Amino acid sequence: MAATRIDGKAVAEDVLAKVKQAAADLESRRGVKPGLAVVLVGEDPASQVYVGSKGRMARECGFHSVTHTLPADVPQADLLALIDRLNADPAIHGILQQLPLPKGLDADAVVGRIHPDKDVDGLTVVSAGRLASGLAGQAFVPCTPAGCMVMLRRVLGDDLSGRRAVVVGRSNLVGKPMAQLLLLANATVTVAHSRTKDLPALCREADILVAAIGRPQALGPECIKPGAVVIDVGINRIDAPERGEGKTRLVGDVAHEPASQIASAITPVPGGVGPMTIAMLMANTVTAAYRAAGETPPTF
């Protein structure tokens, strides 16, 4: 039997509906409109597309949305000064520094300058430390793993006690926070990576397999335990000559078709994790606004 398709677009729409309602309620009761500032440095085409989509979604959610576009040769001091101004602006509840930054700029220093209470991308050391300490209710969780957890809960519920989880990938953006979130949900977690020996055998032990290694279709059916839930974070573009000369298509880190014949549920690529990332950015922003107003944030 083919695996159930975990529809990230549908789940994201549900999250965004809750975000819009929460934002409207906060503005109605307290006169506070959630504010999101996105900082873009340089003219990277992909970054421009991402920033544009984030700004549009913020406006759709009823947020106060601003985008600061700086030239690629902006001095580090000027970029840090902008972050300081946004930190001090009470109308801004979330700050997102679009990455990567052009050469010559210190991304760690820039991200680290964002106030932890406005770190809606969940990338500061303070956010990571809070999450690692089990203080998820005080932390901002990076948007992609946060979205993965929302989808997992739709399939398996909130308590993952007794579940064996394997996260393939150890990045600060996905792998490490994903492992922390699974631990907080009482799963037994193993983090695998490029140096892991006999990766397929390890993956076959997983009731929950999260693939976040950035290698197209690297995890084949030999990596899937029968009945596992598979969350495929990868988004890779590969050649698709069957579609015509020069054509490409998007695939995940998991070989989707054979894996879907073994797993019980699996996220597609595209249409799985991707839509959840921007939805959780909006959720983090409305959470930041609620916290700034001294109110308990909604759950998503």
121: annotated active-site residue: yes
How many angstroms separate the CA atoms of 49 and 167, rounded?
A: 29
Is 170 known as a binding-site position? yes
Domain boundaries, the chain: 17-121+276-292, 143-269
54: annotated active-site residue: yes
Output the CA torsion 133→111→93→41 (10° steps): -160
Residue 102 vs residues 72, 82, 200: alpha-carbon distances, Å: 6, 17, 37
State whether the Cα torsion 219-225-227-231 is positive or negative. Answer: negative
Backbone conformation region of residue 122, classed left if phi is above 0, alpha if psi is from -120 to 50, else beta: left
- State the pTM of this model: 0.94
Catalytic residue among 97, 118, 119, 121: 121
Q: Per residue of the chain (300 residues), what is the pLDDT tens digit?
A: 689 999 999 999 999 999 999 999 999 999 999 999 999 999 888 889 889 999 999 999 999 999 999 999 999 999 999 999 999 999 999 999 999 999 999 999 999 999 999 999 999 999 999 999 988 888 899 999 999 999 999 999 998 999 999 999 999 999 999 999 999 999 999 999 989 999 999 999 999 999 999 999 999 999 999 999 999 999 999 888 888 888 889 999 999 999 999 999 999 999 999 999 999 999 999 999 999 999 999 999
Is 235 known as a binding-site position? yes
98: annotated active-site residue: yes
Q: Does domain 143-269 have CATH number 3.40.50.720?
A: yes
How many angstroms separate the CA atoms of 272 and 57, rounded?
A: 18
Whether 17-121+276-292 shares its CATH topology with 143-269 is answered yes
CATH number of 17-121+276-292: 3.40.50.10860
